[in-house]
């Protein structure tokens, strides 16, 4: 058998896929939670710084400086306050801005900015480092979206601190905190802004994700290895060994190993789980197959022996019946032909004919109740007894009476045989007949049709003791024919169990009534075969036909 993907590979693939999905899910959820958490912290930190700075702005009346676009004495003091704030916090930018024209987002100007000690000690002149009141913002420093939000906050005199995330090409991802500045007349004049570089946050999150993924991957790998180790030991190995044993067993069968040599190699599975049961069941299945095949071999051998014996029995039975035709080539007074076709190897029907003396021919047509071997055994006995009685020179009736006595005296099985027995006086064509429960014979007078001789018959032979059989006579003229048969002919059935019947039999006989006995038998057999078609032959079928040609033929 062609193998698909092995159970081992499937297990690995399944485990990897499963762990992959699990890792992805854990990483996604972790990322989301972690990012939100970090972001929240940054937002509140940003807000704190912005609010601190805006409180300083109030203290220094920075709003009024912005409103007047002036840089009085307090201006630089305020800047150093902001510088301090920036020094102690981890922010990127701290500055104040205003819109020259509140309706034009591009009219943004710096009011002030703050730098740390570190930035100031870079050696560059302060005029380059610091932004002073009225310095226009560089184009592209703020995205339009950001500008619109800032503009809106000023317009609406937003009192609370706002935050937003923004991206600009120059600065990357930034978290922006802003608070509106008011002058002493409570006019919104500009904004204090703080920017925190959230590129750092992303880096941090990325580090976190990498860590999670690596950890998950390592754990997954360990789990997969443990899992595979476990299922290999407790699941796959047992299954593979069951498979190996079964395959070896099947191969033995395919190679036609002798049934007694069939061995199913025992699979030992320690665990008491279902696999153990499976192994046991496969084992007992294999054992059953082996013992079944053993039995089959014995039975087949028996059957072959019986069949051989039956073949011999068939031969013996066939050879017991006179089967060379013409049987008496030098007797021209009659022509005779007979046949027996058993339904099984051996049958219970028989015909017989024998010369009792020069002028008397005994003719027997008989049918033993039942079929097969028992009928055949009984038939052999019956045949011998009838012939023995007849050869003693008894009449037809006496022969059957004696035969009945002999059979009844030893008939434990309750078998019986129907017998028509006639003695033809060859010189005259006169037949003395007795019927022990057998089918009526059909006679054809020289120029007439075949018809049944409906003479009352006696009881079947072997039925009851002390029966006396009566006789009747049939006179045969030259050209007359007598047709004897067993019930296998009229009772031959087609597949719908319709019977051939006596009428069809007589019709067949009369269709070619001038034919020779041999041809007549062939005609009937063909008609029966055509009638039953493919139905199995159900009963033995035996026929005999004798044509009387007259004593004159003796000298021919």
Partner 1 sequence: MEDLIIRRKQENNVLTVFAEGRIDNQNSPQFSEEVKPYLNDVNKLVFDLEKLIYISSAGLRVLLDVFKCMTENAVTDLVIRKPTEIVFEALEVTGIADLYNIEN
Minimal distance, residue 369 CB to partner 1, in Å: 4
Beta bridge partners of 193: 95, 178
* Spatial distance between the Cα atoms of 457 and 409, rounded to a whole number of angstroms: 22
Q: Does 463 bind partner 1 (CB under 8 A)?
A: yes
Nearer to partner 1 among residue 335 and residue 349 (C-beta): 349
Residues in 383-442 at the binding interface with partner 1, rule: CB under 8 A: 414-416, 418, 436-440
Minimal distance, residue 303 CB to partner 1, in Å: 21
Nearer to partner 1 among residue 301 and residue 464 (C-beta): 464
Among 47, 371, 402, 549, binds partner 1 (CB under 8 A): 371
Q: What is the 3-state secondary structure (H, E, C) of 490-514?
A: CCCECCCCCECHHHHHHHHHHHCCC
CB 150 within 8 A of CB 97: yes
Nearer to partner 1 among residue 345 and residue 367 (C-beta): 367
Minimal distance, residue 420 CB to partner 1, in Å: 10
Q: Does 272 bind partner 1 (CB under 8 A)?
A: no
Among 2, 3, 270, 456, binds partner 1 (CB under 8 A): 456
CA 320 and chain centroid, separation: 56
286, 290, 293, 298 alpha-carbon torsion, rounded to 10°: -160
* Spatial distance between the Cα atoms of 490 and 442, rounded to a whole number of angstroms: 12
Q: Does 496 bind partner 1 (CB under 8 A)?
A: no
**Token pair recorded at residue 77:** 């003091």
| All residues at 6 or more sequence positions from 288 whose CB lies less than 8 Å from its CB, including other chains | none
Site string for partner 1, 181-220 (x = CB under 8 A): ----------------------------------------
Minimal distance, residue 402 CB to partner 1, in Å: 17
Residues in 309-368 at the binding interface with partner 1, rule: CB under 8 A: 367
| All residues at 6 or more sequence positions from 158 whose CB lies less than 8 Å from its CB, including other chains | 152, 180, 188
* Spatial distance between the Cα atoms of 147 and 465, rounded to a whole number of angstroms: 134
Q: Does 491 bind partner 1 (CB under 8 A)?
A: yes
| All residues at 6 or more sequence positions from 183 whose CB lies less than 8 Å from its CB, including other chains | 61, 63, 64, 66, 67, 189
CB 126 within 8 A of CB 112: no
Minimal distance, residue 324 CB to partner 1, in Å: 30
Minimal distance, residue 437 CB to partner 1, in Å: 4
CB atoms under 10 Å from CB of 113, counted, come to 20
Q: Does 531 bind partner 1 (CB under 8 A)?
A: no
Among 134, 172, 370, 479, binds partner 1 (CB under 8 A): 370
Residue tagged 């033929």 (tokens): 553
Stretch of 7-15, 159-167, 229-237, 454-462 lying at the interface with partner 1 (CB under 8 A): 454-462
* Spatial distance between the Cα atoms of 86 and 49, rounded to a whole number of angstroms: 9
Q: Does 497 bind partner 1 (CB under 8 A)?
A: yes
Nearer to partner 1 among residue 438 and residue 549 (C-beta): 438
Among 317, 457, 508, 542, binds partner 1 (CB under 8 A): 457
DSSP character for 320? H
Q: Is 30 in a helix, a strand, or coil? A: helix
Q: Does 459 bind partner 1 (CB under 8 A)?
A: yes
CB 31 within 8 A of CB 216: no
Binding stretches for partner 1 (CB under 8 A): 367, 369-371, 414-416, 418, 436-440, 456-460, 463-464, 487, 491, 497, 499, 539
């Amino acid at each position: 058998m062609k193998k698909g993907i092995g159970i081992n590979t499937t297990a690995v693939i399944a485990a990897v896929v499963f762990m992959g999905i699990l890792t992805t899910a854990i990483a996604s959820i972790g990322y989301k939670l972690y990012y939100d958490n970090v972001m929240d912290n940054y937002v509140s930190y940003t807000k704190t710084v912005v609010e601190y700075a805006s409180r300083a702005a109030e203290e220094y009346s920075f709003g009024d400086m912005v409103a007047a676009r002036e840089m009085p004495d307090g201006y630089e003091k305020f800047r150093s306050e902001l510088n301090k704030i920036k020094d102690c916090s981890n922010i990127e930018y701290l500055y104040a801005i205003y819109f020259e024209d509140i309706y034009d987002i591009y009219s943004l100007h710096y009011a002030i900015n703050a730098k740390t000690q570190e930035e100031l000690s870079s050696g560059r002149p302060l005029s380059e480092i610091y932004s002073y009141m009225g310095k226009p913002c560089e184009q592209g420093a703020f995205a339009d979206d950001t500008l619109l939000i800032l503009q809106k906050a000023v317009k609406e005199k937003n009192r609370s601190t706002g935050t937003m995330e923004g991206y600009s090409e120059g600065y990357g991802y930034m978290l922006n905190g802003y608070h509106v500045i008011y002058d002493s007349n409570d006019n919104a004049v500009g904004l204090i802004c703080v920017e925190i570089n959230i590129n750092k946050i992303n880096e941090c999150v990325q580090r976190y994700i990498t860590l999670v993924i690596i950890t998950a991957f390592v754990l997954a790998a360990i789990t997969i290895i443990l899992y595979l180790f476990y299922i290999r030991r407790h699941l796959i190995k047992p299954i593979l060994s069951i498979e190996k044993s079964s395959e070896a067993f099947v191969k033995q069968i395919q190679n036609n190993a002798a049934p007694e040599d069939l061995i199913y190699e025992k699979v030992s599975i320690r665990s008491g789980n279902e696999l153990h049961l499976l192994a046991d069941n496969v084992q007992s299945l294999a054992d059953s197959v082996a013992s079944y095949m053993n039995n089959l071999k014995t039975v087949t051998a028996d059957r072959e022996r019986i069949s051989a014996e039956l073949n011999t029995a068939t031969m013996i039975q066939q050879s017991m019946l006179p089967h060379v035709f013409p049987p008496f080539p030098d007797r021209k007074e009659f022509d005779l032909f007979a046949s027996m076709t058993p339904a099984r190897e051996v049958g219970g029907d028989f015909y017989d004919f024998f010369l009792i003396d020069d002028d008397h021919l005994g003719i027997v047509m008989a049918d033993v109740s039942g079929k097969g071997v028992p009928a055949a055994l009984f038939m052999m006995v019956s045949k011998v007894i009838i012939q023995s009685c007849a050869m003693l020179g008894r009449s037809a009736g006496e022969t059957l009476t004696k035969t009945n006595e002999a059979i009844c005296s030893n008939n434990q099985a309750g078998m019986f045989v129907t017998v028509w027995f006639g003695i033809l006086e060859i010189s005259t064509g006169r037949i003395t007949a007795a019927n022990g429960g057998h089918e009526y014979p059909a006679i054809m007078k020289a120029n007439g049709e075949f018809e049944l001789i409906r003479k009352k018959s006696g009881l079947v032979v072997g039925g009851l003791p002390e029966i006396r059989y009566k006789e009747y006579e049939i006179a045969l003229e030259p050209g007359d024919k007598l047709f004897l048969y067993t019930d296998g002919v009229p009772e031959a059935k087609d597949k719908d169990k319709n019977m051939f019947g006596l009428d069809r039999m007589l019709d067949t006989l009369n269709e070619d009534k001038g034919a020779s006995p041999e041809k007549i038998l062939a005609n009937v057999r063909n008609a029966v075969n055509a009638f039953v078609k493919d139905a199995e032959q159900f009963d033995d079928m035996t026929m005999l036909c004798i044509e009387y040609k007259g004593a004159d033929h003796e000298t021919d």
